[in-house]
Amino acid sequence: MAAVAARRDGAPYGLGRVLKVGHDGVDRVPIERSLVVDPVLKHALSHLRFVKSQQPFNADPVDFADWRERVAGALDALVCVLVFEEDRARARAEAAAALEQATEARQTPHRFLPSMSNRHPQQSDLI
């Protein structure tokens, strides 16, 4: 039988639990910490990544405004499931900025037209 390396407390490496001592109101008791992300939070983050990946690259400011509103909606949904207040405040601020950009894109569409330096080359540009 092969020898298994063990920690000082005798538990084999990789098989021990992650414990944190917490207070349950009466005694200090060990509480097992979960290293698993809450599925609702994971879904909200995945949805935000998906929405952000749908950024339009055409010159239509209406498409840009619609996309920024979808990003704001995804951020608002994320705010409801974030654990820490600091993260919630940051997501709220980013959602407000996205809505502001959407409004600005609808009011002044000429500001959101791509310049020659940041647009993708067209077939006619390559000839």
Average model confidence (pLDDT) for the chain?
75
Residue found under tokens 């067209």: 122
Task: Calculate mean pLDDT across residues 3-31.
Answer: 51
In the predicted model, is pLDDT for residue 39 greater than 50?
Answer: yes
Domain boundaries, the chain: 39-112
In the predicted model, is pLDDT for residue 50 greater than 90?
Answer: yes
Task: Calculate mean pLDDT across residues 65-69.
Answer: 95
Cα separation, 79 vs 82, whole angstroms = 5
Is pTM beyond 0.95? Reply is no
Task: List Cβ neighbours of 88 (8 Å cut-off, separation of 6 or more).
Answer: 79, 82
pLDDT tens for each residue of 75-124: 999 999 999 999 999 999 999 999 999 999 999 877 655 543 444 444 44
